[in-house]
Amino acid sequence: MSEVYNPFKIMQGQVEEAGRLLYLDENIIEHLKWPQREYKFTLPVKMDDGKVKIFHAYRVQHNFARGPAKGGIRFSPDENLDTLRALAALMTWKTAVADIPLGGGKGGVCCNPREMSDRELENLARAYVRAVCDFIGIDKDVPSPDISTNPQTMAWMMDEYETIIRRHQPGVLTDKPQPLGGTEGRRDATARGGLIAVREACRLYNIDPTGTFAVQGFGSAGQRIALSHAEFFGGGKLIAVSDSKGGIYNKNGLDARELLMHKLKTGTVVDFPGAQPVHRESVLEMDVDILYPSARENAISQANAPNIKARIVCELANGPTTPEADEILFKKNIHVLPDVVANAGGVTVSLFEMVQDSYSYFWDEETVNRRLDRILTKAFHTVENTIRERNVHPRLAAMIVGVARIAEAARLRGWI
């Protein structure tokens, strides 16, 4: 990984910038630049061929000032301590901007889940929990799914955790299947949060949300947004979609439901009947009203930012835009809805799941969605007001809001 794109260094630079604008004490800036705790594990896992394979795994707990650490566990070949430190810090800003009583964490296992059977994935999930079990818990650190993990992974992990501690404690993890203490509305929460942010941005900037949109990445967030955008707004045409294998385009619109069936059957959006094949990178550069980057980090960089034509970029992925690209999009007057607001629906409904698990009494979907809407609408406007008051780009505005709240909590605790 080049030093320029070391995500941890980028995060530290962002904290310094926000901290300087807030005139924060040097020590609090230094405190926020580093995770409070980080763990590295080697996991022996029995594979289907009977052999044992060793996997490298991590859990980073960036900050606890406002509550227990919170954030996903990803299974992915490309993770290392620095990617996870950056993503854990992002969770700290995200929970602070949403103003929910949680900190930030992230975990990961270096593996290629596409080459593993369900049984191997289950063995890996359980091995991860055996390693991390002393360091997680409802009042310490509460994981959830992330890239290539899902509610089934959480079910295995929760079962392993409860087996070890010998009591029932479903709130140790979130985004579980509903029969095991999952909540209504969690599956759609990330996409719904993005739609709430888009709705508010469209009102503010006078943009029609029922125009065209493109989705980069067709994993769980990308699929849910493709399915729900038109329903949420009463219109809207999906014209381009990509995944890791390629891109597709149809100026008359793609049927999201049919596309999902095709993806489930073939494993990709490529060769979807009636669509024109396009390079997967070009989906980001489509002339659409709304672009949803929904894949991984650094998709929009200084190389392609000048070609972005969308009026709104709603970041369902974590960290899809580099700092250089942020400046370019800001100058082009493209409205970026930063990840810490745009995808905060997931972690917000995770908090609702923890609350419901703690008293074993569950809300209906309407209640979940209404409460989510109130929290995210407020977060969106807090960041928008900061953009205007300080004349800074949206990510810096969001950092200013998040960093100020954590600094205040750390100060009240007497840490600094």
Contact positions toward ligand GLU, by CB under 6 A? 70-72, 144, 146, 174, 318, 343, 346-347, 350
CA distance 172 to 316: 25
Nearer to ligand GLU, 242 or 343 (CB): 343
282 and 307 in contact (C-beta within 8 Å)? no
106 is catalytic: yes
Distance in Å, CB of 309 to ligand GLU, minimum: 27
Distance in Å, CB of 142 to ligand GLU, minimum: 7
Nearer to ligand GLU, 145 or 236 (CB): 145
CA distance 372 to 352: 9
Q: Give the residue closest to ligand GLU by C-beta.
A: 72
203 and 362 in contact (C-beta within 8 Å)? no
Of 33, 70, 106, 176, the active-site residue reads 106
Q: Kindly report the backbone phi and psi dihedral angles of residue 321, in degrees, each rounded to the nearest multiple of 5, phi listed first.
A: -120, 130
Distance in Å, CB of 61 to ligand GLU, minimum: 12
CA distance 61 to 405: 18
Nearer to ligand GLU, 12 or 92 (CB): 92
**Strand ranges of the sheet holding 246-249, from the earlier edge strand across to the other edge:** 276-278, 246-249, 237-243, 212-216, 290-293, 312-314, 335-337
Nearer to ligand GLU, 178 or 276 (CB): 178
Distance in Å, CB of 91 to ligand GLU, minimum: 6
Distance in Å, CB of 84 to ligand GLU, minimum: 12
Nearer to ligand GLU, 146 or 200 (CB): 146
The Cα angle at residue 106 between residues 100 and 112, in degrees rounded to 5: 140
Which two tokens mark 270?
Answer: 């490529």
| Burial class of residue 25 in the structure, from the number of CB atoms within 10 Å of its CB (0-12 exposed, 13-18 middle, 19+ buried) | middle
Distance in Å, CB of 266 to ligand GLU, minimum: 26
Burial 209-245 (b: 16+ CB within 10 A, else e): bebbbbbbbbbbbbbbbbbbbbebbeebbbbbbbbee
Alpha helices in 206-294 (DSSP H): 220-233, 256-266
Nearer to ligand GLU, 106 or 262 (CB): 106
Q: Which residues are catalytic?
A: 106
